[in-house]
Structure 1
Amino acid sequence: MMNALVSFAPSCRSDRVSGRHTLICRGIVQETHDVKTFVFCPKRGQAGQFKAGQFITLNLVIDGAPAVRTYSISSPPTRAGDLRITVKRVPGGLASNWLHDNLEQGSEIEIDGPSGSFNWDDLRSDRPLFLSGGSGITPVMSMLRTLADSGSDKDVCFIHSARSPKDIIFGDELDNLARDHRNFHVHVVCAEAVHNWAGPTGLVGESMLLKFAPDIRERTVYACGPEPYMNAVRNALNSIGLDPGRYHEESFGGLLKPAPVLQTAQAASVRFARTGVTHQCRSTQTLLEIARSVGLYLPSACQQGICGTCRVLKVSGDVEMADFGGLSAQEKDAGYVLACCTHPMGAVSIDL
């Protein structure tokens, strides 16, 4: 079975670019009726080099309260000074609606990153198969644009699933990629059959994947999309018999189940090694909550043990951590923990 509960490829984790940067919005592109691309440039210097497929963490202030969200970079690193995120307006979504309604040319935002192990540099292959559903196209598009810009001769297959023709993100550009690059095999599939759509229809599954990628067992798969789509992809690949070592994913839409909560509180303390501050606390608190309570800044995003943004080195002490793939095995062996889902079980010291 696909070992794919985690949202980032479990085999490796890329280096994170530390520090906070300021970006200026220099343009907005209306991609579909509910999707916009925001084009940014760094306010000063460079906002950190990124790898195709990575994400940034936006530190927003909405109605006077902080709101932290992660968005994949949809632009390629081959285009210097051009960093883009492509955002779907989610009904009831705090950040996506605020960005759509308030961000304009000249607006400034604070970001952390880039970061993320679902990236082309660390997961290269000669015969990639990219799969995306809905707004999951964003990191995949960064990879496709990178391959196109570099003149790659790799045998590229891409299957994108959209709800309907009006929901196809980057539709014209996908047509151009298929037209201009003979080694790019692009297939866009709509779930709904409508009168103005002559392309294929249906939901992602075993038959669809084998139809468009009959050599799928010899390819390396990169998949991204909302959790229902990802479940369908995993089930199809399990049925096909793809080697799990050929599968990498990033999933939008949260966990299948919540992280467990410690029921029994015990006395604990956390020493922040860089500042020398020691704080008395309870084991029911997370390291992230404790750091914030003493006024220390620690980047965070998902707060569910997925994205890895809040990674911090544990110097000493016993902890309990309930992560969902946000750390690689190598990082755990090196002593790193995720502050958002790690509880001190006594006297603990961390490198902060």
Structure 2
Amino acid sequence: MGDKHLVRFEPVGIEIEVDEDQTILRAAFEQGVQLMHGCKEGQCAACKSFVLEGDMDEIELDRYSTFALPDMEREEGQTLLCRAHAYTDLTIELLNYDEEVLRSGLPVRKGTVEVISNEAVTHDMRHLVVQQVAGEDIKFFPGQYMDFILPESGESRSFSMANTPNREGRFEFVIKIYPDGLFSQFLKNDVQAGDKLEVEAPFGTCTLRENRTSEIVFIGGGAGMAPLLGLLRALQEKDTGRKATLYYGARTKDDLCFEDELRELETTLPGFRYIPVLSDHEGDGWDGLTGLVTEAVRGQEPDLKGRDAYVCGPPPMVDAAIALLAQRGVDERNIFFDKFTTTGEPEE
């Protein structure tokens, strides 16, 4: 371990101690301070912040993408908290934060889980269920995600929980299988019931804002089903009375999953509508909405002012949805999202 330094976050006035051997974001995680973040790999810019006080020469950055932090922004005093190591005391201005989430964060914990089941729900998605069997109890909020550690390489991959918090230490995931995916191919070919895996959680800020009563629109695609399912299950458990609509985009009817549960939610969760959208529907007798899910929302929702929005799925879909939601009147502060990026080498 290295020396520790004090990092203060403004405008919220929260202070943490940061060891030189860990990033500022990691130190915040361990102390239950839920800073905004996404990929944790210096690629998405969700944790970008401004250094108000402190010597920029005393901040070292791990490898990151210059798309997330261009050289000009770094020279002006901006940094990526997921890559930044502090070698002096700092005052950081948070450019992107939610004070409710920030102050209610749960500390990150490590543990071991045992695989209960690993079943295909479509041709390229798996429903993985695991049970924690060792380590400190991992707690989470609906919509958050867990890191799985690959046994041989030690690399980690992140997947959102599809279930709600419970005392049994059980976690559910919906994971897309990529042909060249390191973890997904491991999941497809090797992982069996009874296997044990090392994990770490919770991460993510795409959580249910419980102090709000506004109507919700959910937009998802692919494995984005996982956090959205967790959020919908939480709405049902909490019986908040909030109306909600889920638009879920898939390629064909065979790519839809959890249909029975979602249709059941339409009868048990007051004011909930489930609207699947297919982009490739020829010859299968489909009579629902077609095309891109964002275009379906455009056609169905002329005015979304006053709503909260949750968007989870592939980055192009998320970016298109955020732009559309803003056009339709959703306050950008009430758009919460997870981009399901694939892991790659960050640019120097």
2:198 pairs with one of 76, 99, 110: 110
**8 Å contact kept, 1:221–1:248:** yes
Percent identity for Structure 1 against Structure 2: 26
Query: Which SS does the other structure have where 2:224 is aligned?
Result: helix
Matched with 1:339 is: none
**8 Å contact kept, 2:248–2:293:** no
**8 Å contact kept, 2:220–2:312:** yes
Please state how far the C-alpha of 1:142 moved relative to its aligned partner. 0.6
Identify if the C-alpha distance between structure 1 residues 179 and 213 changes in structure 2 by more than 3 Å, giving closer, same or farther.
Answer: farther
Matched with 1:179 is: 267
**8 Å contact kept, 1:133–1:225:** yes
What code does the residue aligned with 1:153 have? G
CA-based RMSD: 2.8
For residues 59-83 of structure 1, give each alpha carbon's deviation from its aligned partner in whole angstroms, at most 9, with x where no partner exists. 112xx32221111111111574321
What code does the residue aligned with 1:56 have? M
Query: Which SS does the other structure have where 2:149 is aligned?
Result: strand
Identify if the C-alpha distance between structure 1 residues 127 and 29 changes in structure 2 by more than 3 Å, giving closer, same or farther.
Answer: same
Matched with 2:5 is: none
Matched with 1:231 is: 319
Query: Which SS does the other structure have where 2:305 is aligned?
Result: helix
Query: Which SS does the other structure have where 2:289 is aligned?
Result: coil
1:11 pairs with one of 87, 97, 100: 97
Identify if the C-alpha distance between structure 1 residues 238 and 152 changes in structure 2 by more than 3 Å, giving closer, same or farther.
Answer: closer
For residues 21-42 of structure 1, give each alpha carbon's deviation from its aligned partner in whole angstroms, at most 9, with x where no partner exists. 0111112332111211111111
TM-score by length of 2: 0.66
What code does the residue aligned with 2:187 have? L
What code does the residue aligned with 1:134 have? G
Matched with 1:34 is: 124
Query: What stretches of structure 1 move > 6 A for 4+ residues in a row?
Result: none
In structure 2, list runs of 5 or more residues that go unmatched: 1-37, 39-43, 48-94
Query: Which SS does the other structure have where 2:290 is aligned?
Result: coil
1:58 pairs with one of 126, 133, 148: 148
C-alpha distance in 2, partners of 1:186/1:6?
A: 32
Higher-RCO chain (CA-CA 8 Å, sequence separation at least 6): 1
Please state how far the C-alpha of 1:195 moved relative to its aligned partner. 2.7
Residues 232-251 of structure 1: pairs in structure 2 closer than 5 A: 232-251=320-339
Matched with 1:23 is: 113
Query: Which SS does the other structure have where 1:217 is aligned?
Result: coil
1:201 aligns with 2:290: yes
For residues 190-230 of structure 1, give each alpha carbon's deviation from its aligned partner in whole angstroms, at most 9, with x where no partner exists. 1112332222111133x522444444112111111111111
Residues 1-352 of structure 1: pairs in structure 2 closer than 5 A: 6=45, 10-12=96-98, 13=102, 15-44=105-134, 47-61=137-151, 64-78=152-166, 80-121=168-209, 124-196=212-284, 197-205=286-294, 208-253=296-341, 261=348
C-alpha distance in 2, partners of 1:65/1:95?
A: 10
C-alpha distance in 2, partners of 1:107/1:253?
A: 26
C-alpha distance in 2, partners of 1:173/1:47?
A: 28
**8 Å contact kept, 2:161–2:226:** yes
C-alpha distance in 1, partners of 2:345/2:330?
A: 26
C-alpha distance in 2, partners of 1:114/1:168?
A: 27
Matched length = 254
C-alpha distance in 1, partners of 2:215/2:138?
A: 29
For residues 80-139 of structure 1, give each alpha carbon's deviation from its aligned partner in whole angstroms, at most 9, with x where no partner exists. 432111111111111111012111111111111112111115685431111111111211
C-alpha distance in 1, partners of 2:343/2:212?
A: 27
Identify if the C-alpha distance between structure 1 residues 80 and 118 changes in structure 2 by more than 3 Å, giving closer, same or farther.
Answer: same
TM-score by length of 1: 0.65
C-alpha distance in 1, partners of 2:325/2:345?
A: 22
Please state how far the C-alpha of 1:173 moved relative to its aligned partner. 1.6
